[in-house]
Amino acid sequence: MTATDRASLPKLRRGALRIVPLGGLGDIGRNMAVLEFAGRLLVIDCGVLFPEDSQPGVDVILPDFSYIADRLDDVEGIVLTHGHEDHIGAVPYLLRLKPDIPLIGSQLTLAFVERKLEEHKITPLCLAVKEGQKERLGAFDLEFVAVNHSIPDALAVAVTTPAGTVLHTGDFKMDQLPLDGRITDLRAFARLGEQGVDLFMVDSTNAEIPGFVAPEAEIGPVLDSVFAQATGHIIVASFASHVHRVQQVLDAADHHGRRVAFVGRSMIRNMAIAEDLGYLRVPEGILIDVKKASGLPDHELVYMSTGSQGEPMAALARMANGSHSQVEIGPGDTVILASSLIPGNENSVFRVINGLTRLGARVVHSGNAKVHVSGHCAAGELLYCYNIVKPGNVMPVHGEVRHLVANGALAVKTGVPPERVILAEDGVVVDLVDGVARVVGEIPCEYIYVDGKSVGEITEAELTERRILGEEGFVSCFAAVDVKARRVTAGPHFQARGMAEEPSVFDQLTEDVTAVLTAQLTQGVTDVMALQQTIRRTIGQWVAKRLRRRPMIVPVVVDSADAPAAVTRSARR
């Protein structure tokens, strides 16, 4: 997006605050919001979205930075609410554009980000903050509030400008028995509410779920029971940043005389950071390098692994298909999926569960045992927050459309006028003027795909081609023609990949393709591209009618008068 594109938006009024979500509204992931006041910008979170099966070859999906790409000098800083990938994973890609944008977050959050940035050879400017701390970044006064989540050191942030106060919760819940004793600071929420919260940006992930999220403390006894019953290896899969869950696994392993090996690069890296900073208590002698773990008896070993979402290249998926180089699953082993299902990952997770079961393992997951509790507020907790904060306007964030709508409905139940609830998606532009938040426009906000070293070069059209290749197969056709003589001199020759039918089935097409090519040449069509289009239509119609398929079709036509003889001989082979 250029300055010209932004000109289509109404000019931001003097003394007004503009809020533009660039990710996280409509998806579970790539969270990012931009606040603008008096020509200066503040970014809250900068995360990634993980691809679905319908996006083959994509590593991660970034927010669309184009809205701010030509205004990076105006960015005062990037506030990071916590250390999950869907909130910090895109930071390296934004800092590639301008490495000296300050990062503001808690100690653990910044430690996770700094280690990621080392891989990109970026040394960031960091400001570590704690709950209760206040900072001023240009036009923005910030106050940080402790919130409880499935990772330590999470923070909400209150942003105050002359236009009013925005309270952004980040991801949070209201666990009253947290493992680290750090609860969501509802007293600070209440105090901010009394001072006046003009816009409440609230986590929506569990807004459809009634009641309250169970405390993390309830997971420990369940894990202990599963460990007591296990006779072989125990493999626990969780998010690589879920320090609390890893702590529970370490405690259970210590109680049952087992040692623990971390599996997966991100798990090893994050837990080393958490231990160094004092967020993870590791019993002495309990850890063992995964390369040495095979020397222990099965009943003395726990593997703490990544891959709880069924990611095909993660450790657990490779165990399930028997391709992991260091861990082999067999009868008598117990696998615990200690995480919730992120929407969109269901098929991948069930595929892994089936693979593990086929190998003889007992698989324990949230569908058959209480081995995970969510890190996000359920409806009952959200109602409490609305009643405590009493915001002037509400903008649900972090969720699919159904979650945002459910969260907005909760706000209305507590007395927020419906017209003051902003149900937006990525790219919707909201202005806060005189205490009232209104949608004033919309900007382009595309998915930016990362594919290996390529960023933003993969288009939807190319993903469609990949899906067709994966689902419908590939047919190529080579033919040589003599344009001057107006005749086919070689071929057509067919090759098919990813098709159930025998290659010989396409022999039936030889006569049809030869006939249409001859007809076109006789009518004076000499353009090779036009002849290739003729072949594509002929093959497509035949395959759709006879085989009921829509494969990718790649026709190649050469003028034999221009082509070396070796080319046509090679094509015949």
Going by C-alpha positions, the residue among 168, 29, 3, 8 that lies closest to residue 448 is 29
Residues 6+ apart with CB under 8 A from 65: 22, 93, 94, 97, 448
| 351 φ, ψ (degrees, to nearest 5) | -65, -40
250 DSSP β-pair partners: none
| Range of 116-125, 313-322, 502-511 with top mean pLDDT | 116-125
| Range of 51-65, 93-107, 465-479, 525-539 with top mean pLDDT | 93-107
Q: Amino acid identity of 275?
A: E
Which residue reads 């929420």 in tokens? 189
pLDDT in tens, 326-382: 888 999 999 998 877 666 667 778 888 888 999 999 999 877 878 888 899 999 999
What is the spatial distance between Cα 25 and Cα 399, in angstroms, rounded to a whole number?
6
Strands 448-451 and 199-203: unpaired
Cβ-count burial 106-133 (b if 16+ within 10 Å, e if not): bbbbbbbbbebbeeeebebebbebebee
Confidence bin at 573 (pLDDT 50/70/90): very low
Q: Amino acid identity of 403?
A: H
Whether residue 39 has pLDDT greater than 90: yes
**Are 390 and 400 within 8 A, CB to CB?**
no
Going by C-alpha positions, the residue among 209, 558, 573 that lies closest to residue 381 is 209
pLDDT in tens, 308-324: 777 766 788 888 888 88
Whether residue 450 has pLDDT greater than 90: no
pLDDT in tens, 83-94: 999 999 999 999
Angle, helices 107-119/265-276, rounded to nearest 10 degrees: 140
Q: Where do the domains of the chain lie, and which CATH numbers do they carry?
A: 15-211+375-460 (3.60.15.10), 216-364 (3.40.50.10710), 472-572 (3.10.20.580)
Confidence bin at 412 (pLDDT 50/70/90): very high
Whether residue 445 has pLDDT greater than 50: yes
Percent of the chain with pLDDT over 70: 89
Percent of the chain with pLDDT over 90: 56
